[in-house]
Amino acid sequence: MYFAVKKVEPENDYFLLLTFETGEQKRFDMKPYLDIGIFKELKDIEIFNTVRKSFDTIEWSNNADLDPELLYEKSKIIAN
C-alpha cells in the first residue's frame, strides 16, 4: 500500500519535504540517487528546485519522477 504525495517542497542539501495524504510530513534525502540515470541532472540545483506534485507522486522539469511507495518508505517522519 502506498500513500499519495499531497505537497512537496525542495530543501537545502537535496532534501525534499513531503506531505502525504495521511497528514504526515516526512523528509526524503535525494543524495543517494543523484548518481543514477536521469537523476544525475538533479545535481543542478535549478533543476532540483523544479520539483512539483504530479498525480500521486512528484516530478521534475526533466521528467524524472519517483514512486510514491519509495518516497514514503525511505523518508523520515518529521511531524504528524
Cell 514512486: give the residue: 67
CATH architecture designation of domain 5-79: 2-Layer Sandwich (3.30)
pLDDT of residue 79: 56
CB 78 within 8 A of CB 25: yes
Domains of the chain, residue spans: 5-79
Side-chain-facing half-sphere of 56: CA atoms under 13 Å: 12
Position 30 scores a pLDDT of 98
Whether residue 62 contacts residue 38, with contact meaning beta carbons closer than 8 Å, is answered with yes
Mean pLDDT of 6-34: 97
What's the predicted TM-score (pTM) here? Answer: 0.94
